[in-house]
Structure 1
Amino acid sequence: MNISLRQLRVFVAVAEVLSFTRAGEALGLPQSSVSTQLRELEEVLGLRLFDRHTRMLRLTEAGAEILPLARKTLADLDAVVGSSAELKTLGRGRVSIAASSVQAALVLPRVMRDFAQRHPGIRVELFDVSQDEVLSMVHSGAVDFGLGTAFGSGHQELGMRPLWHESFFAVLPEGHPLGARRDVTWRELLGEPLIGPRQGNPVRNVLDFALAAEGLVLNLRHEVSLPLTIAGMVEGGLGIGILTSSMRQLAHAFQLKLLPIHRPSIQREVVLVLHTGRSLSPAAKQFSDALIASARTEAKANGRPARR
């Protein structure tokens, strides 16, 4: 059965005014086209929809039963078209993001606030998870994209869009002997009780790879999953924490001192994590563009080269 939308619109228009001429005027169609469309619809359905008399047009019983169904079909289609137009023009929509706890707490809120002011009809849903979960959530399609640490080529169907680099710092409790220093080397730190990310974590992988190239091995006294836990354990006197520069605000809140670590100077790259097999919705694309623009503005303000 092949029924066209034009046939349904003609049928509803004629049923509402009971006149081929006035229905044609409302639709911008000649009377002959209205008659043809209606006749073809009746042939497809195998039903007579109107009783035709010399000066009168009346719905048949079958036509009266089909009319509300035709109206609903057209209304549903108009709703779909209207919704797609709103999605395209960012009048409404949804964006879902998975981000490591640091980025979720210290980077994304400002971007979300500015985005909400420009696009109040779009809902942004943020999942603050571990680095590993960022990759798995993007891969499974649970979120539109992720924000996390650069990873190797072993993750099929995942791609990266570089955003910025972050340096590593030693985080010291109040009164620590190293607190008088301006910086510290990795070799000097390796003899201290250290607190940092667990093995297998993307941030830990960056550290292990860079230190191994210098013949150094990172042995941590305490391995944890979340940067907040590292800061809390340092504040509690359990050792020296290893955190990135994005944690500066949190470390200051705990009244901890940050020392740059050199020899070697190690950086981790923060990236957008994307699924290569799926395109972003207009709303998600707009938010990712806003995040990229924010990263460039932040890099320029801090004298860092913008990532492309």
Structure 2
Amino acid sequence: MPVAQRTLAELESAVRDIGDMSDVENRRATVAVTPAMAAGILPAVLTSIANAYPHIEIHMKEADSSQIIALIDSGEVDLGVDAVVKSSPGITREVVGTFDMVYVCRDEFREVRFGGTAFSAEMDWADIPAAPLIGMSAGNPMQQIIDQRLMDLGRAIVQREAFSHLLTIVALVEAGHGAAILPAFVLPMCARFSVQATHLRRPSDSIDVYVARKSGRTNSEICTIFTEAVTLKLRSLVNAAAPG
């Protein structure tokens, strides 16, 4: 069985074992996700849940990272998925995946395939080429980690283009506008573009992905199923992207 089909089957098998969904009130949930999560992770998760439980509904609401906490707090959504979910009063966060950083570019490296993306095993942060970097917005916690690491290595943070959406950044890398340092959960998205990615090691930095919900709210079966399905999907990405 092809890898993609096997992973989907594993997701479906996992979610079937979590709950019987007998509570009518727990058959619908809305999840806020960023464009990167919507493009690279959530489609397979939603498909697996729909196949295992065709009588439940999970609706996806696309939102910027800065909006997710407010959407959860207001009750407009039940859950949020993102790597930039800050600790906030009244919000419970659960880590569902941890990812290294990758250097994404058009240059030639020793290649390992990840879907359609050329994926080099690894490189040190100190060996990042002195090429223009396309960044995330300065207020993005992931970009702040990247900038701090570059500063620790004595690399000047030069003026660069900055964008909110990771999909835009990868597209600009493919078009030759520069390189980017991004969390490895972008690899499924990168597979749609003619780019190459390399694990950044020594020193190692990682980004956590969270599922967040309102504290004190009963965690319904559907929310449990969704969280477990996301965890399994992200674990499969970590294993697929591991160098070596």
More helix by share: 1
Say which structure, 1 or 2, has more relative contact order (CA 8 Å, 6+ apart). Answer: 2
CA distance in 2, matches of 1:238, 1:228: 14
Where does residue 171 of structure 1 map in the other structure? 104
For normalisation by structure 1, the TM-score amounts to 0.60
Q: Are 1:149 and 2:83 counterparts?
A: yes
The aligned residue for residue 115 of structure 2 is none
Q: Cα 1:287–1:253, aligned 2, differ >3 Å: closer, same or farther? A: closer
Q: Which secondary structure state, in structure 2, belongs to the residue aligned with residue 194 of structure 1?
A: coil
For 1:242, the aligned partner's letter is I
SS of residue in 1 equivalent to 2:45: helix
Superposed displacement of residue 294, structure 1:
4.1
Query: Are 1:114 and 2:48 counterparts?
Result: yes
State the 1:195 CA deviation: 0.6
Aligned-pair identity (%): 24
Q: Return the alpha-carbon distance in structure 1 between the equivalents of residues 103 and 237 of structure 2.
A: 22
**Once the 2 structures are TM-superposed, how far is the Cα of residue 172 of structure 1 from its aligned partner?**
1.0
Q: Among 87, 96, 109, which residue is 1:180 paired with? A: 109
Question: Does structure 1 conserve the Cα–Cα contact (< 8 Å) formed by 2:105 and 2:197?
Answer: yes
Contact 1:92 1:121 in 2 (8 A): no
For the Cα contact (< 8 Å) 1:194–1:241, is it kept in 2? yes
Of 258-267 and 183-192, deviating more is 183-192
* Structure 1 residues 277 and 210, CA gap change in structure 2 (3 angstroms): farther
Of 277, 286, 296, the match for 2:225: 286
Q: Distance in 2 between matches of 1:300 and 1:186?
A: 20
Query: After the TM superposition, which residues 135-284 of structure 1 pair with which residues of structure 2 at under 5 Å, given as runs?
Result: 135-149=69-83, 151-153=85-87, 155-173=88-106, 176=107, 179-180=108-109, 183-189=122-128, 191-211=130-150, 218-219=157-158, 221-284=160-223
Using a 3 Å threshold, how does the CA distance of structure 1 residues 180 and 302 change in structure 2: closer, same or farther?
closer
Q: CA RMSD in A?
A: 3.0
SS in 1 for 2:203: coil
Q: Flag the 1:247–1:292 CA change in 2: closer, same or farther, 3 A.
A: closer
Partner letter of residue 122 of structure 1? I
Distance change in 2, residues 1:293/1:89 (3 Å): farther
* Shift in alpha-carbon separation, 1:260–1:299, aligned structure 2, 3 A: closer
Q: Would you say the 8 A contact 1:95–1:287 is kept in 2?
A: no
1:126 to 60, 64, 87: 60
Secondary structure at 2:181's aligned position in 1? Answer: strand
- Unaligned runs of 5+ residues in structure 1 are 1-85
State the match for 1:15 in structure 2. Answer: none
CA–CA distance in structure 2, aligned partners of residues 99 and 261 of structure 1: 26
Aligned length: 213
Cα contact 2:71–2:77 (8 A) shared by 1: yes
The whole-number CA distance in structure 2 between the counterparts of 1:269 and 1:148 is 9
Rate the CA distance shift 1:134–1:259 in 2: closer, same or farther, 3 A: same
3-state SS in 2 of match to 1:156: coil
1:180 counterpart SS class:
coil
Shift of 1:225: 0.4
Q: CA offsets, 1:226-245, max 9 Å, x none?
A: 01110111122111122222
Question: Aligned AA for 2:42?
Answer: L
1:246, CA displacement in angstroms? 1.8
